[in-house]
Structure 1
Amino acid sequence: MTSSDIPDKGIGIPRRTVVTTAGALGLSAVSLSAGLPAAAAPTAREAGAATGAPARRTHGWHHYVQAPSSRTVRPVRIVETSGDVRRPDALLQPGGARTLLRRPRPEAAPRWPDGTTAEASSTHAGNNGNDGHPRTYDAANAVDGDPDTFWNDDTQGAFPDVLTVTLPQVARLPGITVISNSDGVPTDFTVDVWRDGAWTTAATVSDNDVTQKAVPFPEDITTDRVRITVTGVQDTPHGAFTRVNEVWPAPVEPVPAPSVTVDFGKVVVGYPQIRFTSASDNAPGVRLAFSETRQFLTNRSDFTRSDQAGGAGQGTDQFAVPARGADWTDHKGFQSGDKVFADGLHGFRYCKITLDALASDAPAAQPWGEVEIDSVALQFTGYLGTPGTYRGWFLCSDDELNRYWYGASYTNEIVTDTFRQDDVDPRGAWSASLEGKLVLHDGAKRDRDPYVGDLAVSARTLYLTHDDAADAARNVLADLAEHQRADGWIPPASISGYTLPLFDYPLYWVTCSWDYVLYTGDRAYAARYHPHLVKVLDTWYPSVTDDAGLLSKGLNGTGGYGDYAFLGRTGRVTYYNALYVQALRDGARLARLLGRDADATRWQARADKVAQAVNSLLWDAEAGAYLDSATGPVRHAQDGNALAVVTGIAGADRAASALTHLDTTTKRAYGNAFMDNDTLFDQASQRVYAFTSYPEIQARFLTGRVASALDQIRRTYGWMDRHDPGITHWEGIGPDGSLYEDAYTSMAHGWSTGVLPALTHHLLGARPTSPGYATWEVAPQPGDVDWATGQLPTPHGPLRVGWENGAHRFRLAVHAPDGTRGSVSVPGDARRLRVRAGGRTLWDGRRAAGRDVTVADGTVTVSNLGPGSHSLLCERQA
């Protein structure tokens, strides 16, 4: 193997490693009766031999597999420590030395004299807590001596926010301490005191990032009033609020809480576990904060379900350590009555363990003492995708593409999990009909609920890697069908008790149902849910169709319906209608499978009518692209234009024009944005969704734009691969490559794994063409890739493919399972190709040797290939 550095063509992507081999696929003996070369066989030994790899790649594709080797997963390094921590590295080696966290008992907090009052410039309205009792957020909470209550302003980031504390008589103050809520920390504020009939500034604080901020005065000041004026706070996913829990009448520096942060090396999912060997006898508390990224690793988790539901954890998981120690697994619930709450399952890369406790958890847990820890681990709950479980795999000469493919697979594995009441999205998502079943959730961290739109990508990824878990998709599709509304609308997910109103997702139920049958051959599913298919296509969508035959959001009370990104689009939207065409055609395929020819004919005719209307009414000739919507400002979206190409709505000229427009207007260093301007919302033209990028990548492959497809893959997935947390694929990317929803962003989201089916179906070139792979096709699109090999799982056994792309020759080998037939198309201009099988010339550049060899659009195709091994040698003539 040799490595060469390929420049990034000026788009900000680091150079990539290309793995090259001599005779990588072992195709020197080309014969239709020859067996598949070793490179396409699924064993580690054969894969290593195929790549000619040195020690680093002796296991071929196995080298790229990301899942842990067992369900007990341990951290790989210590990120940082604070406070009094002894032997932190011991956490990485269970059974040996132990890690010790120590914290002295703090002094009692200083108190204001009786009769002290507080008032504020604004106060947020109260609400009811989980216990049903009302909560207030008024200024008095800042001087009540209870750190679990707080004053909350009501300006949502409009400053200043002013809190004024009035004493019953003058007193001498050396300073104050501001105790703030972790999701409302004042970053910038001034402290004024009332002296000689006027306010005088006693201190100014800027860039504060701690929840206990001691503010000493230059000298003791005698006063009866203190005013805190906040001019800046830390922004949070819930907005920018000032939240002050307590103000103390003295500057008190906090005793550093001992903490140690461990790194699991990649995002993992499951139940955290800690083995405590001993503790002091005062029930010292431990608080755990989790994050998928270092950027949002703080004393508070980047996301907890209890926070989302207004729970008791206040952003961390709590445990009170017994003196005798404990083998603790983080499960949802309270440890002691209504105190010491833990959230249970988490998706994260980093875990911060702190000796601390919530004030409200006293006396069940105390924020001081000693805790000795033997080890930290995680009980992994996702699909355990070890090399032995892969029924489909991929390997090529480009190291980066291999990483992205297996990163997609791992991302999908950690969202393939059992639906459990304690672990799912808290917003009304639990369903008895799903409990205990394998499903494809949206994300590892959030949303832990299966949405059907995500299955349009994540289910394909599953079918191509671990088809033994295909029930994860079927369970979701069947459950949503069983909850179909009387008017035919199918819910997008179980969230909100199956009532979340989305306009596009019932169409994904149709397309994903076809995908499921196509990959698995499950005819019984198609028959069982055909009535639901008829109802959604013939009752619901006609109810939101206008006189031109186009879907129009707003009809039949759908103005408030959302879509995959809850976008404020109304009227005739290209994306909805292109997806409608795809659903009608997929529905027709399902109907034909069942012999329901009348349904198929009706839906195909409607699809053609909608396609014509899209071309007549939604094409913008000036821009050379399809409009996002016929209503409102002019803009052009990735979703609509890409699907118009994929579905064939766009002819060759319009497809070329639309894809050129997207490249010209949406190309970013981290992918292609999903809008070409900001008329829908601010910075829309800087946002990248891998979900909607997948059909654009497909469109580029399908129209022969292989170089631009690979370029988009390398920018989009290269960005995610190189940035924290690495490996897994993000829900969305924001301006300058940021996390588009800050800490709330899911960094492991199944809908972003489209690179895997794109590389398998287009670059490797293999895909099913009828249910259960009864028929298949292999049409490689190598681009600048030197060789590729892989395996697709089918109900009949593996379909194996390998090819080698040289300057003058292209070698291809296919092994088809019993009970299947297929075709092979070779890349290149047919006029300059000579195609041979063994000693027989099938195509000499002008004539075919038989009726199973055809040429269409300049491509040579060999059809009617049955089970067994098939090898072709294609020579490129000058």
Structure 2
Amino acid sequence: MPQDEQAAAAPQRRTVLRAGLGGAALAMTGLSAFSVGRAAAATGTSGAAPQPAGALSTPHWQRYVQAPPDRTVRPVKVVRSSGDVTAPEALLAAGGAVTVLRRPVPAPAPRWPEGTTAAASSVHGPNNGNDGRPRTYDASNAVDGDPDTFWNDDTIDAYPDTLTITAPDAMALPGVTLLSNTDGVPADFTVETWDGTAWQIRATVAGNSAVQCPVPFDAPVTTTRVRITVTADQVTPKGTFTRVNEVWPDVVTSADVPRVVVDFGKVVVGYPQVRFAWASDGNPGVRLAFSETLQFLTDRSDFTRSDQSGVAGGGTDQFAVPAEGADWTDRKGYQAGDKVYADGLHGFRYLQISLDALTSDAPAAQPYGQVAIDSVSLDFTAYLGTPDTFRGWFLSSDEALNRHWYAAAYTNELVTDTFRPDDVDPRDADTPTLHGRLVLHDGAKRDRDPYVGDVAVAGRTLYLTHDDAAAAARNVLADLADHQRADGWIPPASIAGYALTLFDYPLWWVTCSWDYVLYTGDRDYAARYYPHLVKVLDSWYPSVTDSDGLLSKGLGGTGNYGDYAFLPRTGRVTYYNVAYVQALNDAAEIARLLGHPDDAARWRARAEQVAEAVNTHLWDENAGAYLDSATGPVRHAQDGNAIAVTAGVADQARAESALDHLAATTTRPYGNAFMDNDTLFGGSSQRVYAFTSYPELVARFLTGRADSAIDQIKRTYGWMEAHDPGVTHWEGIGPGGIPYEDAYTSMAHGWSTGVLPALTNQLLGVLPTSPGFATWTVRPHPGSVAWAQGQVPTPHGPLRVSWSNERSGEFRLTVDSPRGTRGTVAVPTWGQPVSVRVDGRPVRRDGTGRGYGARSADGYVVLAGLEPGAHRIELRRTSQ
């Protein structure tokens, strides 16, 4: 890819594809960050149809914006209700009718006679329960009369599991009732009784999903022994064990728990609020369960921080409703001493409200009575991206691309939030140095901790949409640098007290730092943290470099270090090394900016050496692609091959070959998998990470494969759009297109928003080429897209671009740049002779330049030195 004026002064590597996942010499890719300046957002008529972009006309992008109009967000519909519930629709609006949930006081549970014992085929060993105290899972828990204890087998997905109950004397049984919990419900099982000489089957149950399952016998049976044999568990978020809390010696059918499920329409994040109009006496309890998808909405939330912290929350948030009612905001903590716990902030789409209570919460909360609810809402805490806050926007002739761009913007808004001790990952992620600061969390519901790898994508998305919030990235980068280890290693996040050892994330800190400086022009940040950059590149990474100059995981005590996906990769890994090339070149740009030419030269030279070593030792001629690792079975990864292209390690031939290999081996209906076979772990060739798909998208645009990039975008993001929860972008996609870690999967994750910078920086073509947009380039990669337009915020004001791509032989582009900047424009020629006019004046015809240094390079006519203001470039095919 040809260089602009700014980058032309830097030494050229072996390929014209000089572009990295960061921005250095690589400023011409779409993978850099953007500015902190406050540029006025363009206005238009919301809801109007998009219009062609022959000129910079009034845009109509606002209809794609996904954020709620204000911070009070209400559900949009009732999904279902069950049990004794009246007027469930009243939950959708405050005032007027109320929703009433009723549940009678249950009869006392039947008990086995004194002296009854229980034995099981296996028993899970003891550990600490959610209350932090040691718990056992003996079979005796199934007959102790306490529904909060349970028998847990000790096999994972292995059957049969048996539970045998022995009474001291013969007793007449009309049947039994199994009480379980949602992550171990026996789905298929038999119930047998002992007749004195043999076991007799009395009932067979298949497909059970009920936590309380009554099992009547055909006729009462007198016996001393009952045996339950489980052959399958319900598939639930953690359904790998059999769990039986109680077996009651009778058939107990209870009134259904009153429940209402409401839908907020898309994933939202913040503090749930419930307005209770009144309640019966006796502290009736409500339990709130949250989920991003209906599939994983059960009697437990799909995820709660209390499950990680050891607090007794039972997977739901609890509240005991006073008789006079209450305006309750779900905040972290206990309502009554050490009882009735709520988790606080949640990221979710669906909310289930049940009239129920944990047994352990009695008498502070009881699972019966009456509760009247006036309304349900959410106090939205994240960045509120309404149309008037967008300082950058995008629009094109392709409706799907438009939807994906704004869905990425909304996903990223959900993770742009204030760091609050009660809301972050409870695994030692709280840190006073970030309290009250705006940050980029990794996900809306979890982990809610700022990881630098996520910032590598989320930061760039943020700068292109809401550059007034760029401090969210700076705060994270600065805080991690301030916790740099003595040997130079930089932590990936605050989790585990800044001690989570990842091998690749210090490289992303370097790249993210350059991105931030490139788009904001924040020289003070660069100067303040330059010593940290020197230390990580000149101390720590050399300590894990082998004799051929390649990073090798395992050296320097790094055998147990992880990476962005905690992959079991060792030795010379292509991804680590091409990311190293990228980081070295990014660091060289910072060094040049700050007047350290020797450092810049040293790092560029090292980048060249590493790139050469990668091509010598990690290129697989047989596959025509880079190896994932030189250690272990042969496989080829998306991350290493894509970044080899964007970082300029691969020459043109290798770049095309590697991308051909990925297309042939990793294409799935829901995106491109991150491995080409399953030798790393089972199912890895079916797993899609949008995080590693991002550089592949850019690589495809850079190599002239815009339509293949667009196809990959539509498969990846179209799949997520079409499946629950819709709109937001998932942390990862597993085999068959499911959430890759079931309920635990974050369905609104900032590192998956790379479609947005890919479309703005590559398809539209707008990039900075020096810090603070002092210089910039516009180089569209239109493919088959008919037209596109957009605005990029800069510290100097908005930079607006519009182009139309007429395959009949014309390409028209308008650029309107702010004062204090100069730019280069490159327009595609389709490999044909063309004439070019700028503002109506001819500047090139049939290969002859007449102005703006017009020259041909790589299928483009390049025009340099455009002054601030509006310019119209028109390209037409000519015949020679």
Match of 1:302 in 2: 302
The 8 Å contact of residues 76 and 262 in structure 1, kept in 2 or not, is answered as yes
What are the within-5 Å matches in structure 2 for residues 23-172 of structure 1?
42-45=42-45, 48=48, 51=51, 60-129=60-129, 132-172=132-172
Cα deviation, 1:814-841, whole Å, max 9, x if unaligned, reads 1111111111100123642211123321
The 8 Å contact of residues 177 and 252 in structure 2, kept in 1 or not, is answered as yes
Q: Secondary structure at the match of 2:678?
A: coil
Match of 2:872 in 1: 871
Matched, 1:663 2:663: yes
Amino acid at match of 1:819: G
- The percentage of aligned residue pairs carrying the same residue is 70
> How far apart are residue 235 of structure 1 and its match?
4.1
Match of 1:183 in 2: 183
Q: Secondary structure at the match of 1:501?
A: coil
Greater Cα offset, 237-246 or 604-613 = 237-246
Match of 1:476 in 2: 476
Amino acid at match of 1:691: F
> How far apart are residue 300 of structure 1 and its match?
1.1
Cα distance change on mapping 1:655 and 1:351 into 2, 3 Å? same
* In structure 2, C-alpha distance between the alignment counterparts of 1:49 and 1:561, rounded to whole Å: 51
The 8 Å contact of residues 129 and 135 in structure 1, kept in 2 or not, is answered as yes
Q: Which protein, 1 or 2, shows the higher relative CO under an 8 Å CA cutoff with sep ≥ 6?
A: 2
The 8 Å contact of residues 687 and 733 in structure 1, kept in 2 or not, is answered as yes
Matched, 1:280 2:280: yes
Match of 1:817 in 2: 818
Q: Which runs of 5+ in 1 are unaligned?
A: 1-39
* In structure 1, C-alpha distance between the alignment counterparts of 2:878 and 2:549, rounded to whole Å: 50
* In structure 1, C-alpha distance between the alignment counterparts of 2:479 and 2:160, rounded to whole Å: 51
Greater Cα offset, 395-404 or 828-837 = 828-837
What are the within-5 Å matches in structure 2 for residues 753-792 of structure 1?
753-792=753-792
The 8 Å contact of residues 355 and 368 in structure 2, kept in 1 or not, is answered as yes
Cα distance change on mapping 1:51 and 1:831 into 2, 3 Å? closer
Cα deviation, 1:717-772, whole Å, max 9, x if unaligned, reads 11111111110000001111111111111100000000000000011110111111
Q: Secondary structure at the match of 2:263?
A: strand
What are the within-5 Å matches in structure 2 for residues 631-710 of structure 1?
631-710=631-710
Q: Secondary structure at the match of 2:465?
A: coil
What are the within-5 Å matches in structure 2 for residues 94-493 of structure 1?
94-129=94-129, 132-238=132-238, 240-493=240-493
The 8 Å contact of residues 83 and 259 in structure 2, kept in 1 or not, is answered as yes
Matched, 1:845 2:846: yes
Cα distance change on mapping 1:359 and 1:851 into 2, 3 Å? closer
TM-score, normalised to structure 2, is 0.93
Greater Cα offset, 85-94 or 341-350 = 85-94
What are the within-5 Å matches in structure 2 for residues 518-537 of structure 1?
518-537=518-537
* In structure 2, C-alpha distance between the alignment counterparts of 1:185 and 1:555, rounded to whole Å: 46
The 8 Å contact of residues 85 and 259 in structure 1, kept in 2 or not, is answered as yes
RMSD (Å), alpha carbons: 1.6
What are the within-5 Å matches in structure 2 for residues 573-612 of structure 1?
573-612=573-612
* In structure 2, C-alpha distance between the alignment counterparts of 1:69 and 1:826, rounded to whole Å: 39
Q: Secondary structure at the match of 1:44?
A: coil
> How far apart are residue 59 of structure 1 and its match?
7.5
> How far apart are residue 309 of structure 1 and its match?
2.2
Amino acid at match of 1:782: P
> How far apart are residue 41 of structure 1 and its match?
7.9
Amino acid at match of 1:368: Y
> How far apart are residue 844 of structure 1 and its match?
0.8
TM-score, normalised to structure 1, is 0.94
Cα distance change on mapping 1:276 and 1:46 into 2, 3 Å? closer
Amino acid at match of 1:859: Y
* In structure 1, C-alpha distance between the alignment counterparts of 2:451 and 2:308, rounded to whole Å: 18
Match of 2:35 in 1: none
> How far apart are residue 850 of structure 1 and its match?
2.7
Amino acid at match of 2:466: H
Amino acid at match of 2:621: A
* In structure 2, C-alpha distance between the alignment counterparts of 1:134 and 1:303, rounded to whole Å: 22
* In structure 2, C-alpha distance between the alignment counterparts of 1:736 and 1:49, rounded to whole Å: 35
Cα distance change on mapping 1:92 and 1:50 into 2, 3 Å? closer
> How far apart are residue 48 of structure 1 and its match?
4.8
Q: Secondary structure at the match of 2:434?
A: coil
Amino acid at match of 2:222: T
Amino acid at match of 1:225: R
* In structure 1, C-alpha distance between the alignment counterparts of 2:721 and 2:830, rounded to whole Å: 35
> How far apart are residue 47 of structure 1 and its match?
9.8
Match of 2:496 in 1: 496
* In structure 2, C-alpha distance between the alignment counterparts of 1:288 and 1:406, rounded to whole Å: 30
The 8 Å contact of residues 392 and 466 in structure 2, kept in 1 or not, is answered as yes
Greater Cα offset, 113-122 or 507-516 = 113-122
Amino acid at match of 2:194: W
Cα deviation, 1:392-441, whole Å, max 9, x if unaligned, reads 11111111101000000000000001111111011111111111111000
Cα deviation, 1:617-668, whole Å, max 9, x if unaligned, reads 0000010000000011000000000000001110000100000000000001
Amino acid at match of 1:874: L
The 8 Å contact of residues 291 and 301 in structure 2, kept in 1 or not, is answered as yes
* In structure 1, C-alpha distance between the alignment counterparts of 2:667 and 2:547, rounded to whole Å: 36
> How far apart are residue 52 of structure 1 and its match?
7.7
Amino acid at match of 2:816: H
Q: Secondary structure at the match of 1:793?
A: strand
Match of 1:560 in 2: 560
* In structure 2, C-alpha distance between the alignment counterparts of 1:312 and 1:123, rounded to whole Å: 22
Match of 2:793 in 1: 793
Q: Secondary structure at the match of 1:421?
A: coil
Q: Secondary structure at the match of 2:472?
A: helix
Greater Cα offset, 690-699 or 276-285 = 276-285
Greater Cα offset, 283-292 or 844-853 = 844-853
Question: How many pairs were matched up?
Answer: 836
Match of 1:548 in 2: 548
* In structure 1, C-alpha distance between the alignment counterparts of 2:95 and 2:347, rounded to whole Å: 26
The 8 Å contact of residues 41 and 47 in structure 1, kept in 2 or not, is answered as no
Greater Cα offset, 656-665 or 198-207 = 198-207
Cα deviation, 1:839-877, whole Å, max 9, x if unaligned, reads 321111220103521222231011101211111111123
